[in-house]
Amino acid sequence: MKILVIGSGGREHALCWKLAQSAGVEVYACPGNPGMARVATCMPGKPLEAAISIGADLTVVGPEVPLVAGLVDEFRARGMRIVGPDANAAQLEGSKIFAKHFFTQSRIPTAAYVTVEDATQARMALGRFNYPVVLKADGLAAGKGVVIAQNAAEAEAALATLQGKLVIEEFLRGEEISFIALCDGKTAIPLAATQDHKAAFDGDLGPNTGGMGAYCDASLLTEAQTQNIMETVILPTVRAMNFTGFLYAGLMMTAEGPKVLEFNVRLGDPETQPLMHRMESDFVPALVAAAEGNLAGVTLEWKKGPSVCVVLASGGYPGAYETGKEIRGIQMAETRGATVFHAGTKLHRGMVETAGGRVLGVTAGGADLREAIAKAYEAARCIQFEGMHYRTDIGHKGLARKATI
């Protein structure tokens, strides 16, 4: 069976790495990266052409941009099997206003909000909220479309950077969880819960990034909480939108229960790295079932111990950064028992160099969270490139939570 993975980041490397462990599966990636090339055949060119040329039996889409642009609709029109939502359902990520209206209509718990057409309307609406207040640009913004304003001056400054229509919403307090379910258009099965670390620096300080590390641990949610989120958030969405693919609910666990901060219509990055690392089951039958509308009764098993992924980023990221820095120590890190997923890397004269903001995701498991964290950091310390920076507190919220149980 030939499976094509669309994308070139750490998320897609982790997916290819997992799929390559399934018997009888040949993995292809479009366009892929040097890490993916170790477990998959990388294909240049357009996704649809790549899928046709290899005769893909199944395609899995990583990033949101092709989903919002309707790649899944094109595949389905040709009768080709693909895991991902159609362009209509992808608006749940593509437009924050579409998503908020959908939450209201479907009675999905979320922050109170208003939508505004421009800065003048925004100034009038802001009077109805307490500070801090959250301002969100409507369209895809690669993680840069959200501002949390602490006071009126910060809100005014945000209006200068966020153009066009906006969502203004109540600031929610609590712990953030990434809840991802695999959906087949009618039903869905949960993946294990994960926690991302979005801020650039330790202690959740600094600007927001795409994610500086994540861990996957059974202690994140109880079985009852998982069931509740499936019933109040995921299943109503799957039924209303005939949602196929990965539905990722960014949740705030508030004192009043889980509330949706945002929907993504894909796997998270870096959440996928610890997810694939910790998944015990063969993932291929579940992906085929999702593409065919046959997920009912399918379950996924997870290793008992947690997995932790530490992202190594380029100097300056998430601001401006240089690329083309030689990377050393990947093999050494892997001899310490970690798996190093490539994100922004390229091959140059036989050497692996940096080619993006988030460069590598060093991922390790352990008998408990403390051990998994220690193993991931021991391996991360083997790797060097000029300007490299990473957070040193990935998973620490999990340790603190365990200490209070």
Q: Please report, as ranges, the residues that interact with ligand AMP according to CB under 6 A.
A: 111, 134, 136, 146, 148, 169-172, 176, 198, 250, 261-262
Residue nearest to ligand GLY (CB): 211
Select 132 or 315, whichever has its Cβ closest to ligand AMP.
Answer: 132
Question: Using an 8 Å Cβ cutoff, are 8 and 36 in contact?
Answer: yes
From the list ligand AMP, ligand GLY, none, partner contacted by residue 318 (C-beta under 5 to 8 A by kind): none
Cα angle 314, 32, 362; round to 5: 45
CA distance between the termini of the chain = 45
Least distance from C-beta 206 to ligand AMP, angstroms? Answer: 13
Residue 172 contact, options ligand AMP, ligand GLY, none, Cβ 5-8 Å cut-off depending on partner type: ligand AMP
How far apart CA 168 and CA 137 sit, in angstroms, is 9
Nearest distance from residue 132's CB to ligand GLY, in Å? 21
Question: What are φ and ψ of residue 213, in 5° steps?
Answer: 160, 160
CB 147 → ligand AMP: shortest distance, Å? 9
Among 252, 182, 194, 188, CA closest to 219: 194
Kindly tell me which of 250 and 293 has the beta carbon lying closer to ligand AMP.
250
176 binds, among ligand GLY, ligand AMP, none (CB under 5 to 8 A by kind): ligand AMP
| Shortest Å distance, C-beta 156 to ligand GLY | 28
- Phi-psi region for residue 102, left (φ > 0), alpha (ψ -120 to 50) or beta? alpha
* Residues near ligand GLY (CB under 6 A): 196, 210-211, 264, 268-269, 271
Question: Is the CB of 108 or the CB of 177 nearer to ligand GLY?
Answer: 177
Ranked by CB distance to ligand AMP, the top (closest) residue is: 262
SS3 206: strand
- 95 to 17, 68, 99, 136, 145: CA distances (angstroms): 31, 10, 6, 10, 11
In angstroms, rounded to a whole number, what is the distance separating the alpha carbons of residues 195 and 215? 6
Residues 6+ apart with CB under 8 A from 400: none
Q: Which does 211 bind (CB under 5 to 8 A by kind): ligand GLY, ligand AMP, none?
A: ligand GLY
SS3 of 118, please?
A: coil
Q: State in angstroms the smallest separation of the CB of 146 from ligand AMP.
A: 4
Nearer to ligand AMP, 96 or 375 (CB): 96
Among ligand GLY, ligand AMP, none, what binds residue 268 when CB lies within 5 to 8 Å by partner kind? ligand GLY
Q: Which does 217 bind (CB under 5 to 8 A by kind): ligand GLY, ligand AMP, none?
A: none
Interatomic CA distance for residues 178 and 121, integer angstroms? 32
CB of 334 to ligand GLY, least distance (A): 24
Kindly compute the dihedral angle of the four CA atoms of residues 62, 65, 70, 71, in this order, to the nearest 10 degrees. -40
Return the one option of ligand GLY, ligand AMP, none that residue 269 interacts with (CB less than 5 to 8 A, by type). Answer: ligand GLY
Shortest distance in whole angstroms from residue 389 CB to ligand AMP: 20
> At closest approach, how far in Å is the CB of 65 from ligand GLY?
13
Pairing state of beta strands 339-342 and 358-365? Answer: antiparallel
